[in-house]
Amino acid sequence: MNWSALGFDYYKTEINARSTFDGEKWSELVYTDDEYIKMHISTTCLHYGLQAFEGMKAFRGVDGKVRLFRPEENARRMQASARKLCLPEPPVELFVEACREIVRRNEKFIPPYGSGATLYLRPMLIGTHVGLGVKRSPEAMLIVYCSPVGPYFKGGMKTINVVIDRVQDRAAPRGTGDVKVGGNYAASIFSGTKAHTEGYSNVLYVDAAEHRYVEECGAANFFGIKDNTYVTPKSPSILPSITNKSLRELAAHLGMKVEERPIPVEELSTFVEAGACGTAAVISPIASIFDLDSGERVSYGNEVGATCLKLYNALQDIQYGRSEDIFGWTEVVIE
Ligand SMILES: *Cc1c(COP(=O)(O)O)cnc(C)c1O
């Protein structure tokens, strides 16, 4: 197995976990090697976007142990997504137990330490009510599956170029931007595809109401660094990233100030570093931001900034068991 050559794509593993909610209670977890689900053609998740998902990773550490990173945070975020879509909320313990077991039962697909590859876990929740009208789904299914994924950065951390393109809004202020649901991705696929075609890694989305404030960078949160301060946007239409939350806590621990507040586009040029953060890459340092409307480009340089590097290493050291987990963020799943 050439782990380092893997990309971010579906790779078949052995076992996935499922639990169904029949309108009253969640079933015991069922483990299966079946990659398919049989579904009625009029199932609500297929028509009205009644679905939510999560993304997390299992890491084979320097000590050989396998760790999950803050899985309860993902469980609670899935509950928040479920609440917003009026879907049944999977209990935290059910969610986390499914994640643990999926890691254990697919142990041979966990990439070795040092390969840079990880086991990506994809929990998903779908409304399974069969009907035709737009209404809530009292029945649901939780599925947790996994797939080994290659190192995000092949050959070292790299900076990315992003674009501010107001052609499409990702999420409205009182919409679903703050929960992890497929509809947000549907609403960003056009602008994302356009950006890729034009050579950018991602769109830096701005707020839908005024198109003036920075929101998210593709499917990752945004942060800027200046004056020993970690600044990240505050907005009701941003998905609360667990990576961002962890970086804020790490930054504070490392003696930096942390600010969560609206960031106007004009402020971008005052940062000395900027980055996109999320489970997939931890941090993608940003080299430049091009604003299509004004034609202005803000450049931070192609070199990875010292603060981005420091935060990235501090978080990865905890995830891979290289430093003491002083925050209690990791859970050892395989000793
Ligand atoms: C999942 C996601 C993120 C990153 O969240 P993490 O918990 O850090 O992985 C950021 N923005 C969006 C829109 C997302 O869907």
Q: Using one digit for the tens of pLDDT, what is the confidence trace for 267-295?
A: 999 999 999 999 999 999 999 999 999 99
Closest residue CA from atom 14 of ligand 1: 219
Closest-lying ligand 1 atom to the alpha carbon of residue 279: 9
Reported for 247-252, long-range contacts at CB under 8 A and 24+ positions apart, including other chains, are: 247/223, 247/277, 247/283, 247/311, 247/315, 249/327, 250/311, 250/314, 250/315, 251/311
Q: Whole-angstrom Cα distance, residue 305 to residue 310? A: 9
* pLDDT on residue 156: 81
- Rounded to the nearest angstrom, the distance between the alpha carbon of 241 and the centre of ligand 1 is 5
CA 239 to chain centre: 9
pLDDT one-digit tens code per residue, 255-270: 999 999 999 999 999 9
For residues 200 and 290, is the Cβ–Cβ distance under 8 A? yes
In percent, the amount of the chain with pLDDT more than 70 equals 100
Q: Clarify whether 25 is annotated catalytic.
A: no
Closest residue CA from atom 12 of ligand 1: 219
Mean pLDDT of the chain: 97
Reading the block at residue 152, the tokens are 């995000």
Q: Whole-angstrom Cα distance, residue 260 to residue 196? A: 29
For residues 95 and 70, is the Cβ–Cβ distance under 8 A? no
- Rounded to the nearest angstrom, the distance between the alpha carbon of 54 and the centre of ligand 1 is 8
Q: Whole-angstrom Cα distance, residue 326 to residue 271? A: 29
- Catalytic: which of 180, 194, 257, 310? 180
pLDDT one-digit tens code per residue, 224-241: 999 999 999 999 999 999
